A and B are shown apart, each in its own frame.
Chain A
């Protein structure tokens, strides 16, 4: 074998364990799901193998699935906007703080040490009828009866913002941290106010981080099912809840497979659009 051929093969040999893991843990299950989505649920007993488009036809044409999908995207979008509005000032503050940056970053990571479910359930103790907020307001005499705050779409969004905010802050922080602070000083020395310098220099330069955080928050938010289950009312559901119900409650694995692939395709399309205009490199920076 020539040296050139060996050099060409070497990266693939080194990459093979990782590629093998990706193939085994991601591609093979995905292929199973794709195959399953074309099967049919039998009334009794095992599912019927074959190549049937019924599940896909229903997933794509049934207004119920369209409504829940659009509602899911709406909730994910609102959550992302809130995360951006709350996350940017926090990230800016961490970037500009002197000396205690590491402690602040550590505090930002602290919520990850607690189970996501526990964190979500904590809102019940805060917003419930006998929760902290109502107890405080009642003891202060501000209200005479507990205010009903839980189990609606607003609390679902609140729970999602709570879950996703650190992802947004970290991405914006990475972006802001890479901006030379002298640029703002230069802008002010040329007559810009601090606010103008921020709007015209810092903000545009940090937009890739904001976009990366937005994409992560949106994708993770749109794929969640625990939050609406814990904090939502009877009507509140996101698309992943339908996948869960189809597979676990209705034991309709073929339909559940089609629905999960539909969600994957929609979110995949968004990632592809992001990649086309902004590139994926910012994402890996934020995660790193």
Chain B
């Protein structure tokens, strides 16, 4: 007998006068308490039965494309629902995952190799069976190798897209020639005091400080010079932005004339008709995003979903929506007309033109640099 039937019989007894109101309400309440108490444990008992997978990403057009091209076909094929959530930032999301129960979060659209390493360090990784993800064969090896450098014997994620954090500038005030001549140093040029912006992210600040002091971002030797460059930028900047929307607003409203920016967001501004230039300086900041499977997830169900998400029609639709090239190798897959025109797109499939952060170097310095940046930002 199911719970609905039990409730109906109880209600009938109450209506017939066999049960007084107090007892009826008491029994309903007791049933509620019993259900509330047993549910967390029932979840364990039914652990083998996968009924849903949770995906968390950046929302917006990306979620819509995933829903249409991956989640709905996946549910139709497997009967497993995909619950999609969104997050505002990777750091905030990691804090949520760390404080959650295992299995509560399943797949996340994470930033770069940093997050992959951080999740692995916190023991949040799983071992994917790549044979269950046939579309992995279409992905650029250069992207996958970055993850294999962290977990040589297994993968806990599949690469999904990539982009750059280059220099975005208002062409009404800064010419293309000036930008190419000054490069990253334009962000510490006193001529643009009060019209300079910057991402409030310690990694980006340090990366560009390395470029401004003519050092390799993956091997900074003169740290004092780098911190001084960050201080100079801080003193000249009007605003540190914290989100893509804020970046776009600051540039579109002409509050700032130059900043670093995410290639996809700048492409979106250009699509809207704003005369914003984009330039990747030598050693500009390349990054990639992945679909990470979090510990405690139903791995096989996730693998199948990842395969749907990596399918060319899904990857291309997502890439066109967010203006970041997909992880698919352009030499193996026809990526259509728009993607080859996107900033940062690499037609060779090798990504040799982009500089990616060395996760061991950057994550090794994370604790010290993130805290020092917090101080430097406030004038210390």
Contacts and interface: CB of A to CB of B under 8 A. Distances in A.
Nearest to B196: A234
Contacts of B374: 242, 245, 249-250
A23 B240 CA distance: 40
A interface: dominant SS: loop
Interface stretch (A12-20, A48-56, A124-132): A124-132
Contact of B238 (A46, A148, A249): A148
B42 interface: no
B186 to A, nearest CB: 17
A248 B238 contact: no
A150 B237 CA distance: 12
Interface string B348-380: 000000000000000000110011001101111
11 contacts: A41-B367, A44-B121, A67-B378, A124-B249, A128-B255, A233-B237, A233-B239, A235-B377, A237-B377, A249-B91, A252-B371
A158 interface: no
Nearest to B201: A249
Contact of A45 (B122, B198, B237): B122
Residues of A in contact with B, size category: 20 to 34
Interface of A: 41, 43-46, 64, 67-68, 124, 128-130, 148, 150-151, 229, 233-235, 237, 242, 245, 247-252
Contacts of B242: 229
B253 interface: yes
B234 A130 contact: no
Interface string B50-92: 0000000000000000000000000000000000000001011
A250 B367 contact: yes
B123 interface: yes
Contacts of A46: 122-123
A9 to B, nearest CB: 22
Contact of B371 (A150, A229, A250): A250
B253 A129 contact: yes
A148 B255 CA distance: 9
A122 to B, nearest CB: 13
Nearest to A250: B370
Contacts of B275: none
Interface of B: 89, 91-92, 94-95, 98, 118, 121-123, 194, 198, 200, 202, 234, 237-240, 242, 249, 253-255, 366-367, 370-371, 374-375, 377-380
A20 to B, nearest CB: 14
Given A234-B237, A249-B91, A45 B253 contact: no
Contact of B123 (A45, A64, A234): A45
B258 to A, nearest CB: 15
Nearest to B96: A248
A151 B238 contact: yes
A156 B302 CA distance: 45
Contacts of A128: 253, 255
Contact of B367 (A43, A64, A67, A229): A43
A55 B352 CA distance: 44
A33 B293 CA distance: 29
A130 B249 CA distance: 11
Contacts of B198: 234
Contact of A129 (B98, B234, B255, B375): B255
Contact of B378 (A64, A248, A252): A64
B252 to A, nearest CB: 9
Contact of A234 (B98, B234, B370, B380): B234
A126 to B, nearest CB: 12
Contacts of A242: 374
A248 B237 CA distance: 24
A219 B371 CA distance: 26
A252 B95 CA distance: 10
A124 B254 CA distance: 12
Nearest to B242: A229
Given A64-B378, A148-B238, A249 B122 contact: no
